[in-house]
Amino acid sequence: MTNSIDRTAAIRVGWEATTSNPGPLVLANLAWLLVHGAATVERTRSDSTSSIVLYVLGALMMLGAWNIALRFASGEHAGLADFFVSFRVVASYVIAAFVTSFAVVIGLVLLVVPGILLLVRLQMIPFLILDGRANALGAITGSWQLTRGHTVELLVFDIVLVALNFAGAMLFGIGLLLTMPIAVVALAHVYLQLQEPAPDAEEQLD
């Protein structure tokens, strides 16, 4: 038996963390959003070098934002200093993203459903790396194991987060400065929920 995901608790933690500590979360996600937007524009051009640089920079921005979110979701204090992650973390994530992106793209192109399944099952990779629990390849297998038995729950939760950010984008994009931090902290809280031992495991330990 596995723990069910408490989506309401995750959103509540995301809301409380964002409204009580808006500075680090909003600034980190704003930096991530700006770099991601620049990378998207650059993909339409032929300069592959700048695209690669922006991709790595975007990964750095994303990991910084997710690191702050993970600390808040854990009940810890976080500041802008937590936005700067180590080279090891960035390298591990880029390798893991490079490896998994091919499988996800192939799954989306061929049958769609396998691609979505992979996206859902592998979305905890950044948190496993940031948490110091795994390297690139270990995070891939770790995310797959961690999300086992929760695919439908996670898919529903992801849809909720997409809807939340869509609502933020509809407010001239400004709403994303609120909805993105809420969503990332909420996802970090779900990651921590999945790390908790299942009731059956606790009974066996007793």
Q: If pLDDT is split at 50, 70 and 90, which confidence band does 19 have?
A: very high
Between CA 155 and CA 122 the distance in angstroms is 12
Decide if 20 is inside a domain. yes
Q: Which two tokens stand for residue 56?
A: 């790595």
Q: What domain range is 71 assigned to?
A: 7-196
* Amino acid, single-letter form, for residue 61: M
Decide if 113 is inside a domain. yes
Decide if 162 is inside a domain. yes
Decide if 17 is inside a domain. yes
**Residues 108-135 pLDDT 10s:** 777 778 888 999 999 999 999 999 888 9
Between CA 6 and CA 174 the distance in angstroms is 28
Decide if 37 is inside a domain. yes
Nearest alpha carbon to residue 8 among 159, 160, 176: 160
**Residues 37-59 pLDDT 10s:** 777 776 666 556 777 777 778 88
Distances (CA, A) of 203 to 101, 146, 199: 39, 19, 6
Report DSSP letters for 43-90, one per residue: TTSS-HHHHHHHHHHHHHHHHHHHHHHHHHHTT----GGGG---HHHH
- 155 touches 2 (CB < 8 A): no
Count of domains forming the chain: 1
Calculate mean pLDDT across residues 50-77: 88
Decide if 50 is inside a domain. yes
Decide if 1 is inside a domain. no
